[in-house]
Structure 1
Amino acid sequence: MNRLARFLADERGTATIEFVFVVPVVLIIFMASVESSLYMARYVMLERSVDIVVRDIRLGRLDGLTHAELKRRICQTSALVNSVQQCVDSMRIWMQPINTANFAMVAPPRHCVDRSAPIDPLAPEPSATEFTYGADNDIMLLRICLKERPMFPTTAVGASLIADGEGDGNYALLATSVFVNEPG
């Protein structure tokens, strides 16, 4: 009994036990805050770059711009892009005019780029049902989907972002804009 009493009275290692209990909680909170901050910064920068490019489209400064050039221009304007080509490959753009006779808007598709599929650099431009510039005075609906990989996919924030995705380990940043094409 004397040995058991000495063992229970021994206070060596108490700081280690506290450390083992506290550090994982602090690390989880830190990683979740970094992941959510990075998500918000990426989203804000995507919205900003879309706004800058849409302004140029609306004012007619980018007449004749192709779909691929539009993607490249949005990616070049964004400050949080590691590689412009990777951004272009991860982005999908949907743009259509809104019918002003009845304001019936076609719901933009939810799908984004499938990053698990191989990228075909010689892929044709999207069809007219997916991307068109419209005419003068047309109200245009633009939707951009950019796939990003979470920094900490095993944290609660990273896992919830992935859970809302399409099962490829990435999350989607969606930016939507409505604008009017200025007359020529």
Structure 2
Amino acid sequence: MRGLSYLSRFWKREDANATVEFVIVFPIILIVFIAAFETAMLLTRQVMLEKALDGAVRYMRLTSGLSVSHDAIRTNICDNTPLIPDCGNALLLDLRVIDQTTYALPDYQTLCIDRSGTVTPANTFNPGAENQLMLVRACAAVDRILPISGLGLELTRDDTGAVHLMAATIFVNEPD
């Protein structure tokens, strides 16, 4: 009988209420904070990739006699995008001429590279000629900070778990 009395008093005690509330609420607040941080970091990486791509295109347009190569443009972009880890291996570029009779653009979501080096689909790198309308796209594969957060579960990713950041811009090749 004495044990039952002790158990009854244990359930009626209220000195651990704050601890119980903390244990219930703290993980939720922590996940919301980490999801917000992850969102901010991915958006910052996206903005920096777009800005670096625009800077590389500006450099290509304003520099006369420049021989355009995939590696040179990628190096220019990676130098201006410090938040993309292993940028030299994680970034892929696609440069192609836009047909000015149809203005048909390739599917925006299909260009990217996975960690094994496979490009889906095979990209082109055609610097074009004078007065041609050009499309340049960049794709970078980056890791999520916390894969189990709400944002991490909803993002499109490849088989390795990397999230693809995409940026694109259109420009006209200036005459010399």
Q: How many pairs align? A: 170
Q: How does 1:89-128 map to 2 (within 5 A)?
A: 89-107=89-107, 110-115=110-115, 117=116
Q: Partners in 2 of 1:118 and 1:102 — Cα distance? A: 32
Cα pair 1:60 1:181 within 8 Å, conserved: no
Distance 1:62 1:150, change over 3 A: farther
Distance 1:144 1:136, change over 3 A: same
Q: Name the residue aligned to 1:122.
A: none
What SS is found at the alignment partner of 1:28?
helix
Question: Alpha carbon RMSD of aligned pairs, Å?
Answer: 2.1
Q: CA offset at residue 114 of structure 1?
A: 1.5
Cα pair 1:56 1:62 within 8 Å, conserved: no
Cα pair 1:94 1:108 within 8 Å, conserved: no
Q: CA offset at residue 17 of structure 1?
A: 0.5
* Higher mean displacement: 91-100 or 72-81: 72-81
Distance 1:147 1:61, change over 3 A: farther
Q: 1:55 aligns with which of 54, 58, 61?
A: 58
The one-character-per-residue Cα deviations of 1:144-168 (angstroms, maximum 9, x if unpaired) are 100100111121112222xx11221
Q: CA offset at residue 92 of structure 1?
A: 1.0
| Runs of 4 or more consecutive aligned structure 1 residues displaced over 6 Å after TM superposition | none
Q: Name the residue aligned to 1:146.
A: 140
The one-character-per-residue Cα deviations of 1:103-128 (angstroms, maximum 9, x if unpaired) are 2334467141121x269xxxxxxx8x
Query: Are 1:11 and 2:14 matched, yes or no?
Result: yes
The one-character-per-residue Cα deviations of 1:72-128 (angstroms, maximum 9, x if unpaired) are 11100113244xxx201111111111112332334467141121x269xxxxxxx8x
* Higher mean displacement: 43-52 or 70-79: 70-79
Distance 1:91 1:118, change over 3 A: closer
Distance 1:62 1:94, change over 3 A: farther
Distance 1:131 1:19, change over 3 A: same
Q: Which segments of 5 or more consecutive residues in structure 2 lack a partner in the other structure?
A: none
Q: Which segments of 5 or more consecutive residues in structure 1 lack a partner in the other structure?
A: 120-126
What SS is found at the alignment partner of 1:99?
coil
What SS is found at the alignment partner of 1:29?
helix
Q: CA offset at residue 9 of structure 1?
A: 2.1
User: What is the one-letter code of the residue matched to 2:22?
Assistant: F
Percentage of pairs with the same residue: 32
Q: Partners in 1 of 2:65 and 2:48 — Cα distance? A: 21
Q: TM-score, normalised by structure 1?
A: 0.83
* Higher mean displacement: 98-107 or 135-144: 98-107
Q: Partners in 2 of 1:140 and 1:14 — Cα distance? A: 64
Q: Partners in 2 of 1:19 and 1:175 — Cα distance? A: 42
User: What is the one-letter code of the residue matched to 1:26?
Assistant: I
Q: Partners in 1 of 2:56 and 2:103 — Cα distance? A: 25
